[in-house]
Amino acid sequence: MWTPLARQQQDKLSEDSSAVPRKRGAYRASQKREMTKAFKQDALESAAWKVFSTIGFDAATIRDIVSVSAVSPGSFYNYYKTKDVIFDLLLIKIIKRVRNAILHSRCETDTLEEMLVKSQSAVLQELLSISGAPRFFELNQHHVRARLFIMPETSEMLDDLKKKLIQTVNMLHISPDRMNFIASTVLTTGLEALLYIAHNPFLDIQNVAKLSANMSAASIRAASAVSA
């Protein structure tokens, strides 16, 4: 015979057991939505990269990006709202890749020249491994320059460089503002090296890296010899 307490316990077990499939179903549905979102975002970002590296940011429209992606316009507006947002996102991803490449190229015992050559070479090799990167920077260089030095990701990369410069050259007497300027010019020289290769695709990467690095090293040593 079932007592009231036994019935309550049985009802509770039935409710719990029926709730498990619902939770699993909700999880699967949520997982599917996230996968769909990731797929659409990847398609839109790949399409935006193709458009920006083919006709440039100024000429590009959201319609162009959506057309290449085969994703609905509604999805673009849900995820990005404007072409500026997706452009910034692509640039941030490139900066992160470049920073990782630079960090992996360095050695604690490097001299200034060795560090700069390795860094410049790593940057050029990383960027040239990305389809359309030289053309992307060539077409959009004014937009890249306008954004580059106000992005937190760039600040992190410049902080890495400043720490390395202090390790390799006597620069403790240099003011923070001047250090920022010196590090920024090294980064700008690297960008110019990429644009140089973009116009001359048959140039040897290592030779360009050495040229760029030696120019930067000479400027850094000259700056370090001047009191703040």
* Dist. CA 145–CA 6, nearest whole Å: 73
Domain that holds residue 102: 84-224
pLDDT band of residue 108 (cuts 50, 70, 90) is: confident
The reply to whether 102 and 210 lie within a common domain is yes
Q: Are residues 89 and 67 in the same domain?
A: no
In whole angstroms, what is the distance from residue 92 CA to residue 76 CA? 19
pLDDT of residue 32: 81
Give yes or no: residues 144 and 93 share one domain: yes
Q: Is 60 exposed, middle or buried (0-12, 13-18, 19+ CB in 10 A)?
A: buried
Q: How many CB atoms lie within 10 A of CB 127?
A: 22
Residue 157 has pLDDT above 90, yes or no: yes
User: What's residue 3's pLDDT?
Assistant: 54
**What confidence tier does 14 reach under pLDDT thresholds 50, 70, 90?**
low
- From CA 65, how far away is CA 67, in angstroms rounded? 5
Q: Give the pLDDT confidence score for residue 128 in this predicted structure.
A: 93
User: What is the predicted pLDDT for the residue at 207?
Assistant: 96
pLDDT confidence of residue 19? 56
Domain end among 38, 55, 79: 79
Rg, the chain, Cα only: 26
pTM: 0.82
Q: How far is CA 68 from CA 53, 61, 65, 173, 224, in A?
A: 13, 11, 5, 53, 50
Summarised one tens digit per residue, pLDDT across range 90-101 is 999 999 999 999
Round the average pLDDT of the chain to a whole number and report it.
88
Q: Which residues contact 162 (CB under 8 A, 6 or more apart)?
A: 179, 180, 183
Q: Is residue 226 over pLDDT 80?
A: no
State how many domains the chain has: 2
Type of residue at 190: G
Same structural domain, 118 and 205: yes
Confidence of residue 174 (pLDDT cuts 50, 70, 90): confident
Domain boundary among 79, 100, 122: 79
Question: Do residues 164 and 183 both lie within one domain?
Answer: yes
Based on the fold, state whether residues 142 and 59 are members of the same structural domain: no
Does residue 179 surpass a pLDDT of 70?
A: yes
pLDDT tops 80 at residue 17: no
Q: Percent of the chain at pLDDT above 90?
A: 71
| Same domain flag for 65 and 88 | no
Q: pLDDT tier at 227 (50, 70, 90 boundaries)?
A: low
What pLDDT is recorded for position 12? 57
In a domain, 185, yes or no: yes
